[in-house]
Structure 1
Amino acid sequence: MSGNTITHDVTVTAEQTGTTRGTARDTSFAPSRAARELGLRRRDFDLAVRLGRIRTVPDDKGGGRRVARDEIERIRAGAGFPEALRDSIRVVGTTEGAALMAVTTARFTRLARLGLLVPMTFYVNRYRAVVWLYLADDLRQFAADERNAALLKGRTSEGLRDQLTEGLDLRPRNWRGRHLGFLLSQADDPWSRAAAMASLLGPVDVSEVVRDPYERSHLHRFRPAPPTHGTPGSPAAHLAEEIMTATDPDEIDWLRTDLAGAVEAARRQRPAPSPALRPVPSAPPGRKSTPHGAQETGRLRGLLGRIRRKDS
């Protein structure tokens, strides 16, 4: 999280619109620019947004989320900036996290698999292994809580050991829950909320809950972009997609239930558009339209007239 602090003044070139007050785009920054203004790498900026350290606003032209100039100034004026901001979003892996909590890496992994330590993010390394990252603040708070003392130093109970032996690993599910919370916090539209829930379900589950194809198509428009892990279609991308899709039956059930409720709420507020019947084009003013049937009748009469003249 190291890096030199960017100290240049925040400036915005507003378009001259003839009014004294500009649009939201005039007084806000795109994420890449906002990250530079705060001296953050883009991935650290995205993490700060996920954690609510940096508040974003919708782009009034539909170009994604932006950061208001006032928000940049508020953060820069905070005590200990930028070190305090960087420390609040610091993430660590298993080895560093275990050292931070003064436990072995094996115990740290057990606590994480049991769902007691919730991952903040993950990536797929070159060996196609998932590397989970945890918020350092979360780990410090867990270790400082006296109620967790037995978990940090005592022997793991037989019941928990049996679950681990059977393959229990709640890290993907806990990450999905945290990720969904972030998506819902960013959703400013009822269809966006529904799409956030749909993004954690497989296509079959979504089609079974949302049976109307036009609603599914509309829902897809609001589907949030998944975190990028490798090039599309790569093994790393496929592995990340598996992590982002619910697999536990009870998790799938509550996501389906919440999706159904969210779509119903969105439908009541603003139904999804569906194709209307195409109107029959009318004849230009001053001209009579000639129906197809009338044309065929005229041809038939002409043919009968020629036959009668030939026979006479």
Structure 2
Amino acid sequence: MTAIHERSEQTQRAARKSRWFRRIPVWLGTLVLLGLAAIWIYPFLWMLSAALKDPIEVFSAGLDLLPKDFRWDNFRRAWVDAHFGQYLLNTVLVTIATVIIVVVRTAMAGYVLARYAFYGRKVVLAILVATLFVPAGYTIIPVVDLAARLHLLNSIAGMVIALSGGAHVASILLYLGYFHRLPRELEEAAIMDGAGFLRTFFSVMLPLAGPVTATVTLMTFMATWNAFFLPLVFTFSRPDLRTLSVGMLAFVGENSTDWSGMAAAATISLLPVVTLFILLQRYFVEGIAGAVKS
């Protein structure tokens, strides 16, 4: 009995040792990922720290993240003196309107390209993919010229049309891939119930594409929220219509730059984006995965 007990203990110790060795790669991988995460998140933490520092301390403190004195007044200057409250409202209006237009337009385009076989379909797809290689800067001049001819410069509506009127090829391809793998019986059942194209699309197909819609919403939100060149051109003579990204110029003077005020303004600008990404992160991954599977 004693020998059997000793062999049992040896077997258990060997099993524990084996499990410990198998966990070493997992621990090493975790340490590497934690290090990469720390490197990735450090600039954001530095920006938060700079937003609470004195302008001189921003650079004199080096890489130190802890401010000597917490200067909450930097946020007041950004919100009140630099008019970031108005800029935030403008950005919210432009972003929400742009997201709605882009989601509906790209979803409908992806649906038609995925479910209908029409003459020239492959040519349309080729042109869409080709536009991915066209630098965005090349389109600013014709867009601004067209907006000026239509008297849309210096207006929120003009910015929305300019930002939502692009190809948004990635969003179209995401919807195309997702709709392509849905069964045809869904549309056939809707048609049997007397539904037309629009009712089938809005009542049946678009609700099923919820993960892709969340992905496109997040992508469009981030692109519109951080857009700079088009809002800058559209608000040259109307500073009150500036968005948050353009409003950053208020902290840049001819001889100096208010770095702590700019950091506070950047923190205000990033909080909505970070919050939305946290809320939609799961749907973002599902939308990408669902479109790629097809």
- State TM-score, norm by structure 2: 0.21
Select the structure with the greater relative contact order (CA < 8 A; seq sep ≥ 6): 2
Higher helix share: 2
Name which one, 1 or 2, has greater alpha-carbon Rg. Answer: 1
Judging by fraction of residues, say which structure has more strand.
1
TM-score with structure 1 length normalisation? 0.20
